[in-house]
Structure 1
Amino acid sequence: MDFSLPDDHRMTRDAVRAFAEAEIEPIAQEIEDEKRFPAEIFDQLADIDVMGVPIDEDFGGLGGGQLLYALVVEELGRVSGSVGLSYAAHVSLGSKPLDMFGTAEQKRRWLRPLATGEHMGAWALTEPESGSDASDMDTTAERDGDEWVLDGTKQFITNANVAGSVLVKAVTDPTAGYGGITTFIVDPAEDDGFEIANVWDKMGLNASPTCEIHLDDVRLADDRVLGEPGDGWKQTMKTLTGGRISIAALSVGIAQGSFDVATEYAQEREQFGQPISEFDAIRDKLVGMDRKIERARLLTHKAASTYDNGEEAVRISSMAKWDASEAAREVSNEAVQTLGGYGYTTEFAPQRHLADAKLMEIGEGTSEIQQLVIGRQLGL
């Protein structure tokens, strides 16, 4: 497989890298400390036309594929895990399902403002009691005349308090198992009964809001159903395949950001009359970090290319997500160690990357769930 990038992909990656270094990196620690969602950064991302990279051009997107999108996620994650996470949730979870499953009218009404960056998107699947079994949900949508009435609680929902639309999963037929779950399009600003109950303080990624949502008698017309009633779980499985590639790409970015800082520091920091990069212990750390990043990046690009080719990508996306998320944690930890005491201070980014990296092993399915998915794909 040829892993060289097409010229247009390389140009977009380089443009996003330049933007990230100029506009995001200088404020990355500040927004984390302030726990502030940087709306101005996403306005600027809209200005450079990357808020809808894999979305159909007819509905405001760039018309690129999963590989191009993964490159953008990586570059954002390299300087700020929070910006990368909110961006990834907006595109792969809040926007892409509308692109894949929405009607033309739904795409005009809901997808276009997401793809152009007018609105942020969110996706509400997880519930307080569901854990790794996301299909075990208590949120319900019942018919009342010509309306659906939604009630329930959703937990750990990225972007919910800044979103223009939220895709909510609810049980519409309790007797139908997986076939009884439906996706609804909710407007947080206009739909009565939608409430942000909590915005969580977290170990990391605090500039990316993580919310608890309460749905109390939220009434929606049939045009708010995405696809058909009962299609929600099939949509979820397809969405998560792409979402895991997103997290893999974000993980690679986090790892690369830590490696860059550690390498620069090791080449400049002198002890016993020479740069510490010349000591075997430090050099071996950096070499091991580079190996892990390159391996994770290749897996991520293979998963994205497989997805773009229309091939079955469940196994390879889970493998990429699992490997890259572990690499992000391990590389960030080694970067902190390389910097020593300085690595533990907020003057340097690896401490932030290390805190951010841990979620990569949890969100979009834990590492343990990725192993289960891969085993099933292998028939084990």
Structure 2
Amino acid sequence: MLDRETFGQITETLGRFVAEQLIPAEPAMAEAGAVPPGLIAQMAELGLFGMALPEEWGGLGLTLEEEVELLFILCRASLSFRSVLGINNGVGSYGILRYGSDAQKRRHLPRLASGERIAAFCLTEPDFGSDAASIRTSASRRDGGWVIEGTKRFITNAPEAGVFTVIARSDSGSRDHKGLTAFLVERNTPGLSVGPTDRKLGLAGSHTADVVFSDCRIPEEAILGAEGEGFRIAMSALERGRIGIAASAVGMSLRLIDEALAYAGERRSFGKPIGEHQLVQAMLADSEAEAFAARSMVLEAARRYDAGEPCGKQASCCKLFATEAVGRIADRTLQIFGGAGYMRDYPIEQLYRDVRVLRIYEGTSQIQQLIIARQMMRDGASPLRRQ
């Protein structure tokens, strides 16, 4: 944890960077379909690629609470910017940090923290998304190492990634999560190829693609953690990542509310600013209340995580509520803008499309509902039950 003065300086610097550099670059980024390399270099210089990594590996050493506070600021700009560096701070580095060998940590973490190397996390496949126990990508022993065969789909940062965390089935006789193992596969490994960049509804600056493994041979030391621990590694990384996604939704909610407020003060109808009409005020108020609730939930879950308390259910609550809320806030904001909001002359049209994916990746809203309800049933009812 940083001292408050140092952390305050970081937040002020990031706030200026977002306002003066990232938000003005949104139209050009959307048009080009990529984050400008100069901005990526500036984000690396600010240490944003290593927010969540310890100082010993070149990161900022932030607690999760501090990290989400930075995400509240960073994600006022297009979520494409966060997506470029988010895997390095989340599912792409967490497994290495917690389960990796000393050699794996030395090889990968400093380069991930500096932004020299981009990470990707390969879980989803063409025939499954949420049902991780049905993974078909295989890993079989051969000649003192492993051979991976299969295809991963919708992999964020795949076109740029230098290292891939791959969850594969190492026990061909199993049909559940117990037969899964995690591997670290580097970009230049023969047998690894990346498909064409996907064409998406939003997040123009964030790239996804298929990752194909065909007779992809890796050494024994490429195993991350222990054989059979793949599902555990993936789920623990996703638990932390879901709080980060919720924080991203909060940041974008705040941006959308600011856009709605500014427009409601400028646009006039029936002789006065539309913000003075009660029905518009109701939409503004509902958005503010939901953003406040989501922000409070995220901070509470992050504090629990930092304290070492179980927070899988709380992470899912955050992910469910905050991502559903930002969808409603985006819809209200576009409604306040009216016809103008539907046009590309204003940023709302792009932001509206960008936020839609938040309800899908790192576990859909429906999967979060299942996680929450199942934990509730395990805990049971009690007048002293904590949230």
**Is this a same-fold pair by TM over 0.5?**
yes
The alpha carbon displacement at 1:89 in A equals 2.3
Q: Deviations over 1:220-249 (max 9, x none)?
A: 112211111111111111101011011101
Using the TM superposition, give the Cα deviation of residue 8 of structure 1 relative to its aligned residue in structure 2, in angstroms. 4.3
Q: Is the 8 A contact 1:127 1:134 kept in 2?
A: no
- Match of 2:338, as an amino acid? G
Aligned to 1:180: 179
SS in 1 for 2:76: helix
Structure 1 unaligned segments of length 5 or more: list them: none
**Is the Cα–Cα contact under 8 Å of residues 79 and 257 in structure 1 kept in the other structure?**
yes
**Equivalent in the alignment of 1:125:** 123
Quote the residue 1:35 is aligned against. Answer: 33
Partner of 2:365: 367
**Contact 1:254–1:328 (8 Å) recurs in 2:** yes
**2:132–2:177 CA contact under 8 A, matched in 1:** no
- What does the per-residue CA deviation read over 1:231-281, in whole Å, with 9 as the maximum and x for residues that have no partner? 111111110101101110111112111111110111122223321111111
Deviations 1:144-192 (A, max 9, x none): 111111110000100011112111111111234322111111111x201
The one-letter code sitting in structure 2 at the alignment partner of 1:72 is L
Given the alignment of the two structures, is residue 94 of structure 1 paired with residue 92 of structure 2, yes or no? yes
- 1:29-68 matched pairs, under 5 angstroms: 29-68=27-66
Instruction: Give the 5 Å matches for 1:151-190.
Output: 151-176=149-174, 177-188=176-187, 190=188
1:101-250 equivalent positions in 2, closer than 5 A:
101-176=99-174, 177-188=176-187, 190-250=188-248
TM-score normalised by length of structure 2: 0.93
Q: Within 2, Cα distance between the matches of 1:40 and 1:308?
A: 33
Q: Which moved more, 1:203-212 or 1:15-24?
A: 15-24
Structure 2 CA distance for aligned equivalents of residues 172 and 40 of structure 1: 41
Q: Distance in 2 between matches of 1:134 and 1:152?
A: 14
2:211 and 2:177 mapped to 1: Cα distance?
22
Separation (CA, whole Å) in 2 of partners of 1:121 and 1:337: 37
Match of 1:300 in 2: 298
In the comparison of the two structures, how many residue pairs are matched? 375
The gaps in structure 2 that reach 5 residues or longer are 379-387
Structure 2 counterparts to residues 255-274 of structure 1, below 5 A: 255-274=253-272
CA contact (8 A) 1:156 1:212 kept: yes
| 1:268-287 alignment runs, 5 A limit | 268-287=266-285
Per the TM alignment, residue 351 of structure 1 is displaced from its structure 2 partner at its CA by 1.6
| Alignment match, 1:355 | 353
Give the CA deviation at 1:127. Answer: 0.4
Determine helix, strand or coil for the equivalent of 1:208.
coil
Partner Cα separation in structure 2 for residue 142 and residue 163 of structure 1 = 24
String of CA shifts for 1:36-85, please: whole Å, max 9, x gaps.
24333222111011211121111111111112222222322211111122
TM-score for both structures, normalised by structure 1: 0.95
- Whether the aligned pair in 2 keeps the contact of 1:296 and 1:324 (CA below 8 Å) is yes
Q: Residues 85 and 23 of structure 1: is their aligned pair in 2 closer, same or farther, counting only changes over 3 Å? A: same
Contact 2:88–2:113 (CA under 8 A) maintained in structure 1: no
**Could you tell me how far 1:6 is from its partner in structure 2?**
4.7
Question: Which of 57-66 and 316-325 deviates more?
Answer: 57-66
- Counterpart in the other structure of 1:72: 70
Letter in structure 2 aligned against 1:187: E
Q: Which amino acid aligns with 2:235?
A: M
Q: Does the 8 A contact of 1:94 with 1:123 survive in 2?
A: yes
Distance in 2 separating the partners of 1:90 and 1:276: 43
Whether the 8 Å contact between 1:124 and 1:168 is mirrored in structure 2 is yes
- Contact 1:318 1:370 (8 Å CA) reproduced: yes
Tell me the residue number matched to 2:382. Answer: none
